[in-house]
Amino acid sequence: MLLVVDIGNTNTVLGIFDGRELIRHWRLISERHTSDELGIYLLNLISLAGVTPADISGAVLCSVVPPLDAPWEEGIRRYLSVECLKVTNRTNIGIPVLYENPSEVGADRLVNAVAGIDRFGSPLLVVDFGTAITIDAISPRGEYLGGSIAPGLVVSMEALFGKAAKLPKVSFDLPEKVIGRNTRDSMQSGFLYGFAGMVDSLVERIREEMGEEVRAIATGGQAEAVAPVSRTISSVEPWLTLEGLRLIYEMDRGEN
């Protein structure tokens, strides 16, 4: 079995693959912990999943929060007795990266590209609704081209809540109408329909630059909230990053 870890700015997503099947997954808050604390969390989680440390034969992670990397790697090494493959923007992922400075690309964006190509082929657009909303473009030849980065829903909500004293935090539930008749519905309309409109505009402009009607898929924490009101997103793949980590691990081990 393979442990996969995606360390994001807001959440850390973990999963266990048995071969090609994702059998369990968890979403944790990304916080600073010692390697011992993380090791205990891992042992408890896999125990609840009916898995023993001896069942875990490998581990792979990607991260956009460098201070959290070493504790995770050490916790995995110490408590699961496996070395963790760390995917970075310098890792050979099997596809050309045409970003002007590849060292600036978040590893999670490249991991998503690998998984997207494997599942849908190319060309492709991958929209990731995380702390930031990223849209990544993959050419018909399977090249990572780049994309766009915008503030995510939660970041925007926190900024608005912090600056507007009378506005409450709201859940990202779809309101019945775009014209909200109360503060909650008005804010939900602004966030969900507004961000869907932003994503649709970016996707349509990227398609114009690429010169073809490229499929757009979505992943990330708020993807399932926004995708239903998007005109351009064709499907939601909630575990795309975890799938990409598995594929890169197998590629690194010569299994793919």
SS3 134: strand
pLDDT digits over 236-254, tens only? 999 999 999 999 999 998 8
Q: Is the pLDDT of residue 163 over 90?
A: no
What was the pLDDT predicted at 136? 98
Domains of the chain: 2-87 (3.30.420.40), 102-244 (3.30.420.40)
What average pLDDT does this structure show over 155-175? Answer: 84
The set of catalytic residues is 108
pLDDT digits over 187-214, tens only? 999 999 999 999 999 999 999 999 999 9
- Provide the angle, in degrees to the nearest 10, between the axes of the packed helices 35-48 and 66-80: 60
Question: For all residues of the chain together, what is the average pLDDT?
Answer: 94
Which segment, 142-146, 176-180, 252-256, is predicted with the most confidence on average? 142-146
Length of the chain counted residue by residue: 256
Residues 6+ apart with CB under 8 A from 127: 133, 134, 135, 199, 203, 216, 217, 218, 219, 220, 223, 233
Q: Give the integer Cα–Cα distance in Å for 25 and 234.
A: 24
Question: Which residue from 8, 36, 254 is spatially nearest to 154, judged by alpha carbons?
Answer: 8
Q: What is the pTM of this model?
A: 0.92
Question: Which residue from 77, 82, 16, 8 is spatially nearest to 45, judged by alpha carbons?
Answer: 16
Tokens of 12: 């850390």
Q: Is the pLDDT of residue 217 over 90?
A: yes
What was the pLDDT predicted at 207? 98
Provide the H-helix boundaries in the chain. 35-48, 66-80, 107-120, 153-163, 183-210, 223-226, 240-252
Q: Omega before 102 cis (within 30°)?
A: no
Residues 6+ apart with CB under 8 A from 225: 129, 153, 172, 173, 174, 192
Give 255's pLDDT tier (boundaries 50, 70, 90). low
Tokens of 70: 């070493």
